[in-house]
Amino acid sequence: MFFFFLKLTLTPLMIAMVTLTARRWGPVVSGLLVGLPLTSGPISVFLALEQDKTFAAESAHSSLFGAIAVVFFCIAYARSAEKFSWPVAATFGLSSFFLSVWLFSGLALPLLLSAALTFCTVAAGFFAVKKSTAAFTNIMAPRWDLPFRMLTATTLVLLLTMLSERLGPRWVGLLSTFPVFITVMSIFSHALYGLSEVNRFERGVIAGSFSYIIFFLLVALLLPTCNMLLVYLGASLAAVALNFSLLQLLTRVKAA
């Protein structure tokens, strides 16, 4: 009952804090923050608490491949948005995600090789999405956006943790990366502000995926043998620090 209460309170609170921060600083920051393991991170914590650390570590390993699936979503959406409206672009993006998840569900690689593959894919994906040259448009989110994010994130955490034993660590890790918020924000940006905002947002998401890699690499590597609290705290701090560094870098490149 205690863990259930945590899922109902901790997850939506974290989503609300990050969402309000992203709204304040625009689409690049929004993409970077969405790239953090906002849903998959809490899922990993609850897997470690409710199953065991080995289960959570194996799931974290699979989550690295899930990051690649998210990158494929971003590329497919951005590229298809050049010619098609948002329903078609969203279909291409989600189809790319699920196809990637299916392909990676049968792939078994050592942890460090998986992390290297994910890193290279994310780096290539960042340049695969065209850089936006249009002036920044301040996107005003609808009133339903924040409650929708909080409800969806909490539902996903509850669903995957309840089905974890049946799904197994590999599928839980892969499905925990399902791009709920990314899809919503991509459609919203596309429908109201056009291709330039889509590209800006998708590049932010992909850039934010580097922090995702470091988070789950540390969890998968250290969790089986180290203190759980220290592992998740250290992984979270490393992910936030990396995203902050990326934000500074992107700001300098833009100003140059």
Digit-coded pLDDT (tens) for 40-90: 888 888 888 888 899 999 999 999 999 999 999 999 999 999 899 989 999
Lowest mean pLDDT among 7-16, 60-69, 97-106, 143-152: 7-16
Q: Residue 254 has what pLDDT?
A: 56
Q: Which amino acid is at 181?
A: F
The answer to whether 235 and 25 are in contact (CB under 8 A) is no
Q: Over pLDDT 70: what percentage of the chain?
A: 76
**How far apart, in Å, are the Cα atoms of 210 and each of 88, 103, 242, 245?**
28, 21, 8, 11
Q: Are 47 and 57 in contact (CB under 8 A)?
A: no
Tokens found for residue 251: 């700001």
From CA 209, how far away is CA 40, in angstroms rounded?
12
Alpha-carbon span 221 to 241, nearest angstrom: 19
Q: What is the mean pLDDT of the chain?
A: 81
Domains of the chain, residue spans: 2-9+28-133+142-255
Q: What pLDDT is stored for residue 209 in this prediction?
A: 86
State the pLDDT confidence band at 256, using cuts at 50, 70 and 90: very low
% of residues, the chain, pLDDT over 90: 33
- At 196-206, the pLDDT tens digits run 888 888 888 88
What pLDDT sits at residue 145? 67
CB of 45 closer than 8 Å to CB of 232 = yes
Confidence of residue 185 (pLDDT cuts 50, 70, 90): confident
Maximum CA extent, the chain: 53
Residue 129: what pLDDT? 87
Task: Give 250's pLDDT tier (boundaries 50, 70, 90).
Answer: low
**C-alpha–C-alpha distance, residues 256 and 239, integer Å:** 26
Per-residue model confidence as pLDDT tens digits over 109-144: 999 999 999 999 999 998 888 876 655 555 566 676
